[in-house]
């Protein structure tokens, strides 16, 4: 959605393989980590340019900045972003949203959550951008992975994935561009929704492949949307965040707090040659 409205033979060998298979199945059943062919670190015809698998014990500040570059409230969102929303453990990044107050953009906000970006640290024009994650569910929750030009400006914008927590089986793909007939704050956009499984129950892989001619969106390796109109031609940096309110509407008594957005990895590739 528009974010800038104001505001993976022998008996002994066999036993070992069976044990490994059972362990992998257990991970899949629990919705936690499991290896996937689609998640291979080597990809034929591509070169890996950015990679974070969150295997340390804290967020890597050489790759990420844990704040909004503008540090302003927009889209009628209800959260303030704070650095303590992030925790790295067991090879996963957790972004936690809480119904606890925080002071942000000059005012008290009723919720606190996290945003991280690669602004000033990594940007790229064209390539494959992917995230393996498990989203939270609940009215008012808005997890997203998206791209903006570096240095920060808007539009254009590419939304690799975003969803409303009240409908965790529906993911949205969008890109936005400046409306040539209006002021600099006006934009046009193209959005496609895909209804799949409940994306909050287990991890899924969301990706785009972007070149000079178009953008293609994938879910778990399957093409779900493509666009060729007004394709961005500039380097863009990464955002990962969990917002509250705005497009996702206000939380209500059914919304679980705290709610967590789990990220297994973020990867970016470019075509060889």
**Among candidates 239, 253, 246, 247, which has minimal Cα distance to 99?**
253
Question: 83 lies in a domain?
Answer: yes
Q: Quickly tell me which residue has 């996937």 as its tokens.
A: 36
8 A C-beta contact, residue 237 and residue 49: no
* Distance, CA of 136 to CA of 262 (rounded, Å): 8
Burial class (CB in 10 A: 0-12, 13-18, 19+), 161: buried
Q: How do residues 32-89 score in pLDDT, each as one tens digit?
A: 443 345 566 889 999 999 999 999 999 999 999 999 999 999 899 999 999 999 999 9
Question: 18 lies in a domain?
Answer: no
Question: 150 lies in a domain?
Answer: yes
Number of folded domains that form the chain: 1
Q: How do residues 130-150 score in pLDDT, each as one tens digit?
A: 999 999 999 999 999 999 999
Question: 35 lies in a domain?
Answer: no
What domain range is 107 assigned to? Answer: 41-271
* Distance, CA of 254 to CA of 161 (rounded, Å): 24
pLDDT band at 4 (very low <50, low <70, confident <90, very high): low
- Report whether pLDDT(7) > 90: no
Helix (H) / strand (E) containing 15: helix 11-30
- Report whether pLDDT(5) > 90: no
Residue-level pLDDT at 187: 84
Question: 16 lies in a domain?
Answer: no
Alpha helices, H only, 106-256: none
SS3 259: strand
| CB-side neighbour CA atoms (13 Å) of 98 | 12
**Among candidates 32, 24, 93, which has minimal Cα distance to 265?**
93
Question: 17 lies in a domain?
Answer: no
**Among candidates 252, 244, 66, which has minimal Cα distance to 164?**
244
Question: 11 lies in a domain?
Answer: no
Question: 162 lies in a domain?
Answer: yes
The CATH number given to whatever domain includes residue 225 is 2.60.120.200
Beta pairing partners, 189: 176
Token digits for 175? Answer: 């890109």
Catalytic (active-site) positions: 157, 162
């Amino acid at each position: 959605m528009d974010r800038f409205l104001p505001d993976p033979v022998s008996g002994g060998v066999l036993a070992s393989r069976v044990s490994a298979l059972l362990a992998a199945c257990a991970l899949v059943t629990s919705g936690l980590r499991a290896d996937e062919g689609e998640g291979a670190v080597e990809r034929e015809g591509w070169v890996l340019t950015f990679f974070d698998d969150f295997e340390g014990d804290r967020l890597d500040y050489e790759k990420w900045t844990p704040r909004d570059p503008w540090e302003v409230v927009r889209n009628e969102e209800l959260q303030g972003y704070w650095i303590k929303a992030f925790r790295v453990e067991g090879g996963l990044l957790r972004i936690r949203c809480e119904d606890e107050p925080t002071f942000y953009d000059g005012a008290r906000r009723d919720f606190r959550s996290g945003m991280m970006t690669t602004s000033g640290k990594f940007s790229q024009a064209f390539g494959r951008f992917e995230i393996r994650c498990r989203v939270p569910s609940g009215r008012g929750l808005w997890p997203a992975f998206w791209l903006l030009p570096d240095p920060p400006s808007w539009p254009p914008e590419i939304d690799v994935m975003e969803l409303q927590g009240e409908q965790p089986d529906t993911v949205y793909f969008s890109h936005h561009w400046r409306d040539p007939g209006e002021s600099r704050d006006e934009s046009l956009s193209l959005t496609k929704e895909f209804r799949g499984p409940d994306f909050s129950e287990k991890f899924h892989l969301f990706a785009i492949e972007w070149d000079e001619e178009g953008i293609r969106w994938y879910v778990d390796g399957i093409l779900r949307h493509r666009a060729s109109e007004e394709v961005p031609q500039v380097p863009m940096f990464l955002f990962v965040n969990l917002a509250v309110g705005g497009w996702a509407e206000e939380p209500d008594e059914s919304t679980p707090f705290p709610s967590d957005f789990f990220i297994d990895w973020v990867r970016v590739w470019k075509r060889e040659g």
